[in-house]
Amino acid sequence: MNRPAPFAAQFPVRSLADVRRLEETPLADAIGARSTYDIFCNSAQAFGARTALTFLRSADPDDAPIRWSFDELLAGIHQTANLLHRLGVGPGDAVAVLLPACLEYHLALWGGEAAGIVQPLNPLLTDEKLVSLMNAARAKVLFAYGAEGDSEYWSKAMRLRSLVPTLTTVLRVDPHPDPLPLEREREPAEEASPSPRSRGEAWPVLSLSKEGEGLPAVIDFTDRLAEPATHLVSQRTIAPTDIAAYFHTGGTTGAPKLAMHSHANQVFTAWASVQLQGVTPNDVAINGFPLFHVAGVLPGSLAALAAGMQVVIPTSTLYRNREVITNYWRLVERHRASVLSAVPTVLAALANVPIDADISSLRYCRTGAAPLSPELAARFERHTGLHVHEALGMTEMAGISTITPPGVSAPAGCVGFRLPHSQLRIVALDEHGHATERELPAGETGMVVFKSPNVIPGFVDPKDNEHAFTPDGWLASGDLGWLDDEGRLHLTGRSKDLIIRSGHNIDPKVIEDALGAHPAVQLCAAIGAPDAYAGELPVVFATLLPGATVTEAELLAYTAERVDEAPARPKSVTIIERMPLTNVGKIYKPQLRAMAACAVARSLVDAVCRQHGVSAPQVELHGELRVSVLLDEHCPAPLEAALREALERLPFPIQLTRR
């Protein structure tokens, strides 16, 4: 069968005029794939034995990696989809994935989408949230890593097994697989030996304790090798509007939401990413983003593989592996990487690693997911010679919203051009911080809203669609920004991160850019600390560069000199040893807010206790987000009443408990 050609950049994009030129070709004519499955079929036909995926067993550049060709990847996708089909997975069934970075993750992703709906899970979420997500999706099968790793994968899977009523099967992925040849080029008439189910037998189940009886079966994922590798047994025809994936969004606080991605959403993201980034089959990318996150799955993997690029997976723990960071430049040289993609916190770490290798193969550096400070952008460019290009991505837009293409030099904070065939507007906010329909002119800051072929059809729970879309159907990004005269988007922050001091909206980026320019500062983040009178007061947390010494008072004075608006000048700067980060590498501001609330509570408690002439009780931060004051059992009632009155004035819940 002669399939459409894989995705290829039509011409270099350097301006909004080039984006409009791409729009001269109707989208249906420009994209030769209706589903993610089509993408892998097209790439296998075009690139065959060329390397698609390279998995690094360790961070040692001299260690032999495991490589899969495009043919082998498609064969594995077929086998995985066929195994899922035999397990009863249909187009409307969810397949959850609880794995570290590995080659098998790609089989779970794309085989899962070929058979049903894939649901990647963040392994750092609590059991309660994982159960909630799987139940919301009515997950039927769970891919689980057969070892604990650093996230207790297997024990979590075994606990989830008894808490998700719709779950029928757990597929155990071997934690230390030997490279196994995937079957290819088998004609339909030459199917593999009959599967246990076709022989009327039960699927093989790993030995489990008697306590596991009556629970979902546990099957070894290597059973996929008995499945046909050349076609989908289901003979499914996948429509562009079919749901491909459920991605959770909302971070690690509150109730995560399940965003529905259609195949058309994901295919468009891959196509648009290829057009604006100009990637070719000769490119190699080291993808250090987690594969449960849209950045790692879609712009980081699907777009690359759609264009014939090689994707390198830097060990099962990716950029969280310190040896990967330490050896990064040698890994670039070893694999001749041409595309560097990482969040700003990773760029900050790499800027401290001496370049002890030939990195001349690198031609494009892209960052996103979090604000890039001008100081870090300049420091990284001085260190590597690479200009940092920023992009904006959202789960609700299948991973990519705007891109700064290669060859376009833009200041920090500029995230580039809208995607072809998409629309972008800047609108005013209402008194609650929500998007209105009033469009703002170029140069004015407001909420960024989108209409685009990769905007999701909605969330699994319709209630989550509230405030996600404007009344006239635009996706409300939650990002604040403005458009310049060249049509490029500049971000200034997140609406939810605004510090509101006595009704005055303070953009934390103004403070972060000021402090981030200090030569001793590695990372910094400004947040609102609770205040009984102003609501919030701006404070900053900072980490220092290795070997740097500076006092908090010096940093505070330095920042105050560089922040023009008096209300935005921070009340304090706190130096911390390590910045709290999400699993993707974003600075985790909820924990910083809790730390600030804990400090405020401690100060209030000390003041009240001094007035009563007694020692202050202990103030603790539990986990990440809960602050409590621990009273002695003999604490006098008047003191307890005074403490409660003082703490209740704060716009942040603080528990008062007795030992």
212 and 336 fall within a common domain: yes
User: CA-to-CA distance for 392 and 403, rounded, in angstroms?
Assistant: 7
Summarize pLDDT for 43-63 with one digit per residue, the tens. 999 999 999 999 999 999 999
- Let me know if residue 484 belongs to a domain: no
> CATH number for the domain including 582?
3.30.300.30
384 and 458 fall within a common domain: yes
49 and 89 fall within a common domain: yes
Specify the pLDDT at position 502. 67
Bridge partners of residue 629, in order along the sequence: 619, 656
User: CA-to-CA distance for 219 and 207, rounded, in angstroms?
Assistant: 10
561 and 638 fall within a common domain: no
Q: 3-state DSSP call for residue 200? A: coil
Specify the pLDDT at position 193. 35
- Let me know if residue 270 belongs to a domain: yes
472 and 618 fall within a common domain: no
Specify the pLDDT at position 179. 37
- Burial (CB count <10 Å: 0-12, 13-18, 19+), residue 383: middle
> CATH number for the domain including 245?
3.40.50.12780
Could you tell me which residues come within 8 angstroms of residue 479 by beta carbon, excluding any fewer than 6 positions away? 392, 447, 448, 491, 493, 494, 495
User: How do strand 169-173 and strand 139-145 relate by DSSP bridges?
Assistant: parallel
- Let me know if residue 79 belongs to a domain: yes
521 and 638 fall within a common domain: no
Specify the pLDDT at position 655. 78
Could you tell me which residues come within 8 angstroms of residue 441 by beta carbon, excluding any fewer than 6 positions away? none
250 and 266 fall within a common domain: yes
Could you tell me which residues come within 8 angstroms of residue 413 by beta carbon, excluding any fewer than 6 positions away? 371, 372, 374, 390, 490, 491, 492, 509
- Let me know if residue 68 belongs to a domain: yes
- Let me know if residue 594 belongs to a domain: yes
In this structure, are residues 401 and 392 in contact, taking their beta carbons and an 8 Å threshold?
Answer: yes
- Let me know if residue 488 belongs to a domain: no
Q: 3-state DSSP call for residue 414? A: strand
Could you tell me which residues come within 8 angstroms of residue 618 by beta carbon, excluding any fewer than 6 positions away? 629, 630
Domains in the chain, number:
3
List of E strands, 206-346: 217-220, 243-249, 257-262, 284-287, 310-313, 339-341
pTM of the model: 0.79
- In the predicted model, residues of the chain with pLDDT beneath 70 are 1, 176-213, 250-255, 432, 502-504, 533, 622-625, 651-652, 659
Last-in-domain residue among 477, 509, 525: 477
Could you tell me which residues come within 8 angstroms of residue 53 by beta carbon, excluding any fewer than 6 positions away? 67, 68, 73, 103, 106, 305, 310, 311, 313
The residue range of the domain holding 443 is 16-181+198-477
Last-in-domain residue among 477, 512, 546: 477
422 and 565 fall within a common domain: no
Tell me the residue type at 226: A
444 and 530 fall within a common domain: no
- Let me know if residue 11 belongs to a domain: no
User: CA-to-CA distance for 641 and 117, rounded, in angstroms?
Assistant: 54
Last-in-domain residue among 569, 587, 605: 587
461 and 433 fall within a common domain: yes
Torsion of CA 206, 209, 213, 216, to 10 degrees: -40
- Let me know if residue 8 belongs to a domain: no
Specify the pLDDT at position 623. 57
In this structure, are residues 44 and 70 in contact, taking their beta carbons and an 8 Å threshold?
Answer: yes
Instruction: Pick the closest to residue 398 from 449, 452, 357 (CA basis).
Output: 452
Q: 3-state DSSP call for residue 199? A: coil
User: CA-to-CA distance for 496 and 180, rounded, in angstroms?
Assistant: 48
540 and 652 fall within a common domain: no
User: CA-to-CA distance for 73 and 83, rounded, in angstroms?
Assistant: 15
Summarize pLDDT for 375-426 with one digit per residue, the tens. 889 999 999 999 999 999 999 999 999 999 999 999 988 999 999 999 999 9
DSSP 587: B
Q: Tokens 């919301």 label which residue?
A: 136
Two structure tokens written together for 627: 């602050």
- Burial (CB count <10 Å: 0-12, 13-18, 19+), residue 185: exposed
472 and 507 fall within a common domain: no
In this structure, are residues 505 and 498 in contact, taking their beta carbons and an 8 Å threshold?
Answer: yes
- Would you mind telling me the total number of residues written for the chain in this entry? 659
